[in-house]
Amino acid sequence: MPAKGTIVAILLIRNDENYEPWIKAFQQNDPSLDVVTPQDGHDKEAVTMALTWKAPAGSFDGYGQLKVIGSLGAGVDHLFADASLPSHVQLTRVVDEKLSGDMQEFVLALCLNNIKNLHTYAGTGTSWQPLPYQRVADVTVGILGFGTLGQAVGQRLSSLGFTVSGWSTSLKNVEGITSYDTSQLDQFLAQSQILVCLLPLTDATSRILNQELFNKLPKGAYLINVARGGHLNETDLLAALDSGQLSGAALDVFDTEPLPVDHAYWQHPSILITPHVASVSNPASVVPQIIENYRRMNKDAALLNVVSRERNY
């Protein structure tokens, strides 16, 4: 344990306790930095920056010198879920090319899997039943949440020939992609044959994927949720699949993770489940921006990738 008064600097708190690759990345980038975890004894008063993935509520109690709390992922809903999150600290998140590239590949794979019916064929046993053939050029993909990841995914899909549109709070100017704002949701939905959710989870977006929204999509639309389980009304999804309003869904995120073994989704032939793996922060790629922020924090300079406390994302 460092002596009282030593600047410990950086605290890592992860719910999965997967610290080793993060500590290794810090050592490789700047061996002089003192990085601790809850498993190490340390003086709470010496910690100025905390980095977290789903820290248990109250984890920051007693850390009186904290100036910055950073999410180790792109999403920050886990930060705001803690009612005792200190109000004076600045919040940051991850914006990273690798994270965007991985999300591009993952959503592209799901779109192709859907239009080429691969998941359906995988579940048809010995039945030899060709389905109508669909080409990329026939399909419009709508992206709910047209921010860092949404735009990256949209650009990749568009470059491969999909027609793409994006929906966000403010209009965007992205070549080849039609941008819609919140006043144009119905228009956006009406032509989204595949709907991809890449919104942050906030009060305004909670359970946005519900029956009313599904009914505004073209009949037989396909849903891809790679954002958060809290965006989806689970009962409404099952009803929309039963009625044929939705033809299927690919879900990477869930209210409860891991998804409980007795959950109805596991047995549903039209639901493709992945275990929150669409795009996972890579320590080697992400740590340099954290160190840059640590240096900026110590100079009272503007931080990178700041999260707005007004918007909650």
Using CB under 6 A, list all residues that contact ligand NDP.
Answer: 73-75, 145-150, 167-170, 182, 198-202, 204-205, 226-228, 252-253, 276, 278-280, 313
Does residue 190 come out as left (phi exceeding 0), alpha (psi in the -120 to 50 range) or beta? alpha
Is residue 277 close enough to count as binding ligand OXD by CB under 6 A?
A: no
Q: Is the CB of 142 or the CB of 147 nearer to ligand NDP?
A: 147
135 secondary structure, DSSP code? -
Q: Is the CB of 127 or the CB of 183 nearer to ligand NDP?
A: 183
Residue 23, token pair as written in the block:
């500590």
Partner whose footprint covers residue 70, from ligand OXD, ligand NDP, none (CB < 5 to 8 Å by kind): none
Catalytic residue among 42, 93, 156, 228: 228
Site size for ligand OXD (CB under 6 A): 5
The single residue listed with the structure tokens 């869930």 is 254
Q: What's the min distance (Å) between Cβ of 239 and ligand OXD?
A: 27
Within residues 71-90, the interface with ligand OXD by CB under 6 A covers: 73-75
Q: Is 231 a catalytic residue?
A: no
Is residue 284 close enough to count as binding ligand OXD by CB under 6 A?
A: no
Within residues 46-75, the interface with ligand OXD by CB under 6 A covers: 73-75
Residue 229, token pair as written in the block:
């389980």
Q: Which of 114, 205, 270, 281 binds ligand OXD (CB under 6 A)?
A: 281
Backbone φ, ψ for residue 212 (5° rounding): -60, -45
42 within 8 A of 8, measured Cβ to Cβ: yes
Catalytic residue among 14, 78, 263, 276: 276
71 within 8 A of 233, measured Cβ to Cβ: no
Q: Is 276 a catalytic residue?
A: yes
Query: Within 13 Å, how many C-alpha atoms sit on residue 99's CB side?
Result: 21
Biggest alpha carbon–alpha carbon distance for the chain: 72
